[in-house]
Amino acid sequence: MNSIFADAQKRLVDVFKYTELTDDVEETFKHPKLSLCVSLPVRMDDGRLKIFTGYRVQFNDTRGPTKGGIRYHPDVSLDEITSLSFWMTIKCAVMNLPFGGAKGGICVNPKDLSRLELERLSRSYIRGIADIIGPKRDILAPDVYTNATIMGWMADEYTQIKRQQLPGVITGKPVHLNGSLGREYATGRGALHVLQQWLDRKKLQPQNLTVAVQGFGNAGYHFARLAHRVGFNIVGIADSKGAIYSKKGLEPQKVMQHKQEHHDLGTMLYCDGSVCDLQHYQKISSQELLELDVDILVVAALENQIDKDNAGNIMAQIVLEIANGPVTSEADAILEKNGVVVLPDVLANAGGVTVSYFEWVQNRAGYYWVEEKVNARLEKCITREARAIFDLADEKRISLRTAAYLQGVNRIAGAITQQGTREYFLNK
């Protein structure tokens, strides 16, 4: 199996062509600062003791405490988590947040667990990594198959371990447990802001554009809901079990309502239903959805969804990356050759970490903002950075991904350089 981290590192090759970096900086980007693997004992409902494997990787903290989500998924591996922590490092710098990058995860199918088992697992994870996290060291957040409820359990466990209230150690918490208004849909809202900035630049109107969304979790759903509200025609939606398509358009809120209401969730925190169970729409595969003849393809599932094997079949003119790493480096080259514009993940999905930063600030200050203020500050931050990246891409005639990485890398390099490099110490 190809290394996700090795492929992620290939993004830097083009970036280094457009900036002068010392060897110290390039060497720093090759290695995570800390990688932790922990065994997580959980007493199951039937009395068995089961051991799960968890990870936490802190990639770089030059610009501040590390920050990154926790995912629960059966395919979680150290290689994947290392890659995600690398992307988080770039992303935080792209948004000019005072954070480094980290990521964590547990190798588990959370849908196989009861709510009680899920809580025990979440608390076990915090016990396993408590020594390396904290509001001034490493801050956690939700990711794939984790949510506000799970973040609340984790925050409570950390409070019990440290014997003090430290809500800033975890963001994405429930609002009544020191969470921030606007955090739940921040990733989808931020992605929409980035897309709208690009379309404004090209003088394109939402009402004239069709959209397909692969991935109907938190980020994908809220993007689709907000995009539909401002006039985009959502014609295709896919989740982990399949996809539906309607040329006349879909209403994301109704699709989600059907998915949730027509299935007994039982003891699960997750919806067992699928968008495919909706009637009166054409059922297609997730792969067919990726290759639909639409104006905008939104990839909001997992990494490596578009690779060298299917990149040539992508008919959309714009790919919006809400997932982390959904397009491989080989696919990037094919899409660029075919004239497909990719709005890169390190910018497009940065709304989540930006509002997580706002939550962290509110936790530390003990002063909480109204939702309108959160949303306004998110829009201001992400549109400012998007415009800067678009301008940089035009100026240097490079892809939007290379421009985004260049912006982030230069900020990280500045911090590394100001700590002293070989040239400084040798007085060159």
Per-residue confidence in pLDDT tens, the chain, 428 aa: 578 899 888 888 888 888 888 888 888 899 999 999 999 999 999 999 999 999 999 999 999 999 999 999 999 999 999 999 999 999 999 999 999 999 999 999 999 999 999 999 999 999 999 999 999 999 999 998 999 999 999 999 999 999 999 999 999 999 999 999 999 999 999 999 999 999 999 999 999 999 999 998 889 999 999 999 999 999 999 987 888 898 888 999 888 887 776 543 223 344 455 554 444 678 888 889 999 999 999 999 888 899 999 999 999 999 999 999 999 999 999 999 999 999 999 999 999 999 999 999 999 999 999 999 999 999 999 999 999 999 999 999 999 999 999 999 999 999 988 887 777 777 76
Instruction: Using the 3D structure, point to which of 330, 348, 366 is the last residue of a domain.
Output: 348
80: CB partners within 8 A, 6+ apart: 4, 105, 303
Instruction: Say if residue 327 is in the same domain as residue 409.
Output: no
| Residue tagged 């466990």 (tokens) | 157
Instruction: Say if residue 39 is in the same domain as residue 25.
Output: no
Q: Which of 221, 87, 77, 71 is nearest to 140 (CA)?
A: 71
Instruction: Say if residue 50 is in the same domain as residue 14.
Output: no
Instruction: Say if residue 103 is in the same domain as residue 190.
Output: no
> Do the beta carbons of residue 272 and residue 265 sit within 8 Å?
yes
Neighbour order of strands in the sheet with 233-239 = 282-284, 242-245, 233-239, 210-214, 296-299, 318-321, 341-343
Q: What is the pLDDT of residue 241?
A: 80
22: CB partners within 8 A, 6+ apart: 413, 416, 417, 421, 422, 423
Instruction: Say if residue 148 is in the same domain as residue 53.
Output: yes
Between CA 222 and CA 428 the distance in angstroms is: 52
Q: Which of 103, 111, 203, 337 is catalytic?
A: 103
Q: Which of 109, 107, 111, 114 is nearest to 45 (CA)?
A: 114
What total of structural domains would you count in the chain? 3
Q: Which of 73, 344, 339 is nearest to 217 (CA)?
A: 73
Q: Tell me which residue range forms the domain holding 427.
A: 1-31+403-428
Is 396 catalytic? The answer is: no
Instruction: Say if residue 12 is in the same domain as residue 150.
Output: no
Q: What is the pLDDT of residue 428?
A: 61
